[in-house]
Chains A and B, each alone.
Chain A
Amino acid sequence: MFAEIADRMPQLLSGTWITLQLTVYSAAVGIVLALVFGLMGTSAHAWVRRVARVYVEIFRGLAVLILMFWFLYSLPLLGLRLEPMFAGVLALSLNIGAYGAEVVRGAILAVPKPQYEATIALNFTTAQRLRRVIIPQAWAAMLPPLTNLLIQLLKGTSLVSLITIVDLSKVADNWRGNTGNSALAYGVSLVFYFVIAQILVLIMRWLERRANRRLGRATPSRRAERATLPAAGGGA
């Protein structure tokens, strides 16, 4: 058994690399989308909020796989041909960005009103207030739900195996195709995903501790956060 795993190691590692790249790129684009649409959701102007709402509803409501297929197969018929990697990252980012926007919006609205009033008294503009006072405070509250979304994103990257990208899932699939040893192939890849997930969680927890330290408070207990989290979706 171990010999077989060792044989497969090069592919497993290259598949893992693709998976990590997809995760990081989609997370990067996703956080930008989340910040943009999340902030728009807190705007004083109703039409700005409405645009953000439409984005969130549509890209949260769509299954990621449908979006991916549409980008890869339908878009060419409209004249735009996308590389599979690009289609994959685009679909994942748009989806995770929509979930992220809700997290950002919620965290910003949760910053206590007196903080806003203090910035009014000191004559901050909206942009200054958000950048200097509100978002730094909201950031610490955002990190636990964003950690869940990051894991959701990791799971979502497995869908690219269905649009011809050789990520970790596709490697496992090929492995099964070649040797018929499905339990080992899929089992090992699940373990790889699990390890990646735990590492990502550790990184996020470190960021959380740092953010809370900057606010001068101890990290709240894990239990308290888990109780209030709605479950994140699987790969969609």
Chain B
Amino acid sequence: MGGISWDWNYTLQILPDLIRALLEVTVVVTILSFVVALVLGLVLAIVMRTPNVVVQQVLRWVMEFIRSTPPLVQLFFVYYVMPHLGLTLGTITAGVVTLGIHYSTYCAEVYRAGIEDVPRGQWEACRALSLSTRRTWLGVILPQAIPKVIPAQGNNLISLLKDVPLLAAIATPELLQTAFEAGNKTLSYLEPLTMAGVLFLAVSIPASILIRRLERRFGH
């Protein structure tokens, strides 16, 4: 059994690359994907309220399909199938598209809960005042629904962050991939992977604490 040897010089050597990968790729992908998820999720949540049962059910099952199947396989699907349709996606784009769509289903669910929480009386008042559908949603319903669900969406953001490492599967230069490649060069995987873990925790734990504080503030 080998002794535990930790090369601090090596660690300090690779640390800048790791941090750069974390901030320039992992965090960026997280934010971009989340924006996609938030916007698409809202659209889905609103469309789901259609009285058209067929549309509603189809959409429901499609969302269920996306939500309960592995994002890794969905990523491969997007990355390898798109070129056949004429669209060659870069690794980061493929990642953002995949995670954005995958998490839009979670965001839609959270929006749905927030919208349902808006008292019925609000809808009835809008109808009584003959407000257009657009005004009803933009002026009355969403301003009430969205603030309430910010903490829950925050949880989705953190879950998304934790899924970004799987982009290493298509060699996206994010944190895990960078750490692994560094390890490949020297066959010393201990330092890079451990630091990858530490850096990851350095982002995810404060983010979690922040979200929890938000939840408390919003009186959850």
Contacts and interface: CB of A to CB of B under 8 A. Distances in A.
The answer to whether A and B touch in the complex, with CB atoms under 8 Å apart, is: yes
Interface of A: 57-58, 60-67, 69-70, 73-74, 77-79, 151, 154-159, 161-162, 169, 172-173, 176, 182-183, 186-187, 189-190, 193-194, 197-198, 201, 223, 226-236
B80 A186 contact: yes
Given A154-B70, A172-B73, 7 more contacts: A62-B201, A63-B162, A65-B168, A190-B65, A226-B113, A233-B162, A234-B162
6 contacts: A65-B165, A73-B180, A79-B1, A79-B4, A227-B117, A236-B162
Interface in B192-206: 193-194, 196-197, 200-201, 204-205
A79 B190 CA distance: 11
B17 interface: no
Contacts of B4: 78-79
A61 B76 contact: no
B155 interface: yes
Nearest to A160: B72
A78 B73 contact: no
Nearest to B41: A231
A65 B176 contact: yes
A79 to B, nearest CB: 4
Contact of B183 (A73, A161, A183): A73
B81 A193 contact: no
B93 interface: no
Interface of B: 1-4, 65, 68-74, 76-77, 80-81, 84, 99, 102-103, 106-107, 109-110, 112-113, 116-117, 152, 155-156, 158-166, 168-169, 176, 180, 183, 188-190, 193-194, 196-197, 200-201, 204-205, 208
A172 B75 CA distance: 12
B77 A182 contact: yes
A162 B168 contact: yes
Contacts of B205: 57, 61
Contacts, number: 173
A127 to B, nearest CB: 30
A235 B72 contact: yes
A155 B65 contact: no
A176 B80 contact: yes
A78 B188 CA distance: 11
Contacts of A57: 205, 208
A76 B117 CA distance: 52
Contact of B163 (A78, A227, A236): A236
B17 to A, nearest CB: 16
Given A66-B197, A78-B4, A231-B106, A159 B189 contact: no
B176 A66 contact: yes
Contacts of B99: 234
Given A169-B73, A182-B76, A227-B113, A66 B165 contact: yes
A198 B65 CA distance: 10
Given A186-B81, A233-B159, A233-B163, A169 B72 contact: yes
B200 A61 contact: yes
A59 to B, nearest CB: 10
Nearest to B152: A230
B70 A155 contact: yes
Contacts of B109: 226, 229, 231
Given A78-B190, A162-B169, A197 B163 contact: no
A227 B196 CA distance: 35
A203 B160 CA distance: 27
A146 B188 CA distance: 38
Contacts of A169: 70, 72-73, 76
B191 to A, nearest CB: 8
A63 B164 contact: yes
Nearest to B197: A66
Contacts of A228: 113
Contact of A70 (B69, B168, B194): B194
